[in-house]
Amino acid sequence: MRGILFLAILLAGCASQPEQLDTEQGKRSSAAVHAELGAGYYGRGQYAVALAELKEAVKSDPSYAPAYNVLGLVYMTLRDNDAAEQNFEHALSINPKDSDINNNYGWFLCQTQREKKSIEHFLAALANPLYTTPEMAYLNAGICSERIGEDRRAERYYQQALQIQPRLAQANLGLARINFRAGNYGLARSYLSSHMQMAEPSPQSLWLGIRIERRLGGSGVEADYGAQLKSRFPESAEAHDLLNGKFE
């Protein structure tokens, strides 16, 4: 809604003073409008319209980094990795210290099996003291560190995320996984319980709960997790493992 209101205001201004579009400020304002609209369409899953708006944004002002950032997100969602990387890198060439761009590009790199490089970008995002959502960069750094087996580093990042936002469900789940692997089953149970209070159960969280409770002898809770897994996610790999008794 804010983007639509901004567009209406800008168009009203352009109608009375059309020459403004030829100024640098006018070009930047037009790019910002189209980029914000593109981001809104992206958020609603209307990717073709989002791309059209974002291309108008960079046509209006080729130096407007946020438009390339959202283009990177759209292409990443569409699995056009070459185009996604090109746009993220172009955005960073314009504004290398932008936290949102660094975080988004870091997540793209993590999704394309370049976890170590991704963490460099999460840390670059965190270097900005004005970054408004540092907990997300810490969370992403934790997830990507965990993926490459660096549990100690991942644990530190998850804890830092929770210091900023204690109700960050995925950080609690990450700490539950790490403590389960380390044999700290009581602590794993505590973190998983916190996660379950904040997020809907998933096959992964229920399966982790089953395996934690088996270690702790909580047969009633284990049975409840098992029943949920079989009823909610009967076709999941975790449900098949449960039915086949593959707990390791």
Which of helix, strand or coil describes residue 96?
coil
Is residue 42 assigned to a domain?
yes
Is 244 within a domain? yes
DSSP string, 110-140: HHTT-HHHHHHHHHHHHT-TT-S-HHHHHHH
CA–CA distance, 102 with 105 (Å, rounded to integer): 5
Q: Decide if 36 is inside a domain.
A: yes
Helical residues (DSSP H) of the chain, grouped into ranges = 2-16, 24-43, 47-60, 65-77, 81-94, 99-111, 115-126, 134-147, 151-164, 169-181, 185-198, 203-216, 219-232, 237-243
Q: Residue 232 falls within a domain, yes or no?
A: yes
From 35, 66, 95, the end of a domain falls on 95
pLDDT at residue 26 in the model: 84
pLDDT of residue 21: 52
Establish if 224 belongs to a structural domain. Answer: yes
Is residue 223 a part of any domain in this protein?
Answer: yes
In a domain, 178, yes or no: no
CB of 111 within 8 A of CB of 77? no
Q: Which of 42, 73, 95 is the last residue before a domain boundary?
A: 95
- We report the CATH number of the domain holding residue 51 as 1.25.40.10
Task: Choose one of 65, 95, 125: the last residue of a domain.
Answer: 95
Q: Which domain holds residue 29?
A: 1-8+24-95
Within-domain flag for 160:
no
- Return per-residue pLDDT of the chain as tens, 248 residues: 233 222 222 333 333 333 445 687 888 889 999 999 999 999 999 999 999 999 999 999 999 999 999 999 999 999 999 999 999 999 999 999 999 999 999 999 999 999 999 999 999 999 999 999 999 999 999 999 999 999 999 999 999 999 999 999 999 999 999 999 999 999 999 999 999 999 999 999 999 999 999 999 877 899 999 999 999 999 999 999 998 888 87
Contact indicator for 38, 54 with CB cutoff of 8 Å = yes
Number of domains in the chain: 2
pLDDT value of residue 8: 29
